[in-house]
Amino acid sequence: MSIQCPQRRHLTYTNGVSETQVMTYSHYKIEIDTFESPQHPIIYFRKERKCKTAKGMDRQHNRIVNETVEAWREYGSQIRRYTVSRVPADVVVRP
């Protein structure tokens, strides 16, 4: 049985379990391929607040790409490719 919370439409409770994590955040997978090991990329994940519009999601994606490039700038000569993709929450690896 699923019940919609009247104050927050994005918040759904299923049998008493909150699905807030899945509904209110966008998860991004960032892969960095290097020249030395193209078969073993550096992979990490980021979690950001979910945007309400497609234009906002596009801007958020561009911002994450720019922040990734800026953060790894000093290793730029060793990096072959950056890949930033939006993934579902169940793909994210928890430490």
Residue 22 DSSP class = H
Q: Is residue 18 part of a domain?
A: no
Q: Is residue 12 part of a domain?
A: no
> pLDDT tens digits for 13-26?
444 444 544 468 99
Q: Is residue 32 part of a domain?
A: yes
pTM of the model: 0.71
Q: Which domain holds residue 42?
A: 25-91
pLDDT value of position 79: 94
φ, ψ (nearest 5 deg) of residue 56? -65, -40
Domain total in the chain: 1
Tokens of 20: 């807030």
pLDDT (average), residues 51-69: 95
Q: Is residue 63 part of a domain?
A: yes
